[in-house]
Structure 1
Amino acid sequence: MAGQHALLATISPDLVAAADALREFLLDGGKRLRPAFCYWGWRGAGGAADSTGIVDAAAALELLQASALVHDDLMDRSDTRRGLPSVHRRFEALHRDSGWRGDREQYGAAAALLLGDLLLIWCDELFVRCGVAPAAVLAAKPVFDLMRTEVMAGQYLDVLEPVAGDSTDARALERAQTVLHYKSAKYTIERPLQVGARLAGASEELVAAYGEFGLPLGEAFQLRDDLLGVFGDPAVTGKPAGDDLREGKRTLLVALALRGLDPASAALLDRRLGAPGLTAEEITELSDLVAKSGAPEQVEERIEQLMDRSLAALAAAPLADETARATLLALARAATVRRY
């Protein structure tokens, strides 16, 4: 990031504010789960512990995650990320404080769109030039590219559901599950593991085993995140209470809640979900409806079942390094622990 900051500053001093925003966004928070799973996927496949190349390759996944978050916050009109202003809000504030002309919100949106794209470019640049043997990078690139396609497809389906989905449709749960798979589950754990494995020259057996371990774990991780999006403590999540309700997220939790409520309560939740100008009292009312539906208990049960599947697959996986197995077990537990 220091190198990219210097490059932008060389192009124009007007880019320093953008470079500062990206550096702070990347370095001031985040769980670093995707790089961790990529690195330990490499180690589990016999990759060297002291390789700087795998660290650079794994760091590329954090640039991808940052790009997705900048765009996600813009699409969701989120005010904060990790307790700080989201990127588009930061640039709206810069516009206001500088006394510039034109539409402040449009400027903030344009800045976030472009900076998210820039992070995506840097992600590809860092991965391709990571320093791992070129043949190994070439072998891993299809999985890396597939992961990026999957997350963008999942993002689109997530945007589509609130405007085109029918919550009374029998396929509502299926659609929510598809979004969960592609927007988060595969991209957070399964694909990073497989990228690390491919970089280390893993067998097809291990790559498949990482899928059996990573996909259910990724689902459990996202289901935990969905619970936090409704019931999480802002001091822990860095987002306002009930933020998913405010943004109108049609998660699996919400789909189960709509199915479990009486018709009048389900209609109220469906109508108010994501409605403009929801008050704190209305958010509390909606979260109470979700709690009353029994959906949180169903999600907790599903998380437990997914974790059982995931950890059984990890125990059976043909890893080359037992330290990697122990660390992946610890990461799995950390990714799905209660945080509300």
Structure 2
Amino acid sequence: MDTPYQDVIRNKLKSWLAVFDGPLALIVFLIMSVGIVTLYSAGIDFPGRVEDQLRNILIGFAIMWIAASVPPQTLMRFAVPIYTFGIALLLAVAMFGLIKKGARRWLNIGIVIQPSEIMKIALPLMLAWFFQKREGHIGWKEYLIAMGILAIPAGLIMKQPDLGTALLVAATGFYVIFLAGLAWKVIIAMFVAGAASLPIVWTLLHDYQRHRVMMLIDPSSDPLGKGFHIIQSVIAIGSGGITGKGWLQGTQAYLHFIPERTTDFIFAVFSEEFGLIGNIVLIILYLLLIARGLMIAMNASTVFARLLAGAITMMFFMYAFVNMGMVSGILPVVGVPLPFMSYGGTAMVTLGLGTGILMSIQRHRKLVQT
């Protein structure tokens, strides 16, 4: 028979867990579990990686719980300060950020952080706030202002230089603008203008960025240099076959042919060991994650919540699609982690925050009287 003290503990745990959206939490937990199993294999030569990632996951769940506990109305009040703070950090990076491998992307504030990650949430938060404030009065001027809000962080990130993250941040912001009702004829016009400007954009790219595009077209032109990682990751994916070589049996990883195998290229390790069947299961998990996010967006009670939930969900899609496409050799190599699987603390915090916001929107939705 339970004692009153046990009842209090049980009720307290229920109240703490009540902030989580069950289906979304289960999907994220399953992907993280797959990630830990794969990381153990990929990082067997990197002592402490699994322990560090477990710590990152705990931090991510803590951030998720905090965000899920905060009502969307409160998030809306903090949209402008968070965006302003993110811009300030990006300016600080431009002035005295840490330089690694020729790029100035990090800031040391006692711990080393990458402020561009913050903008993946701060930008859609700001744009959702902007369109909520102008609900019912959205015209071409509002879309131009929104484009300006998007262009500032994207431009600062591109100057670091970090074209991949800049494009992802810009895409996340653009999803908000699109969901706010941007006309298709404007989107088509922008696409045509972007395609026409590609020759100019090409001249503005850094040498390493042009090399990445050329390696996408023909990685065999530099098989031991710029094309090495693409060639080896494609070999790993193909050698997995239908059922894979088995856990801890992947030769490409153990013989050190796959670069960045615990971070950006962890999908290649997973594909080699678990094959096509494993890939299908993993893709289904990501599709379920995206479907749940879109369902939450559709059921949201305000313009702000709907736009924010939609943008965060599409951010998850972009992460997974770009990473898998990059590792499979159908997209240029950019520094994009596989959501909830790749090793890394900053990305896990961002993903946890985004998931928590989705849970908050679902938890605080208003019931429509019928």
Greater helix content: 1
TM-score by length of 1: 0.30
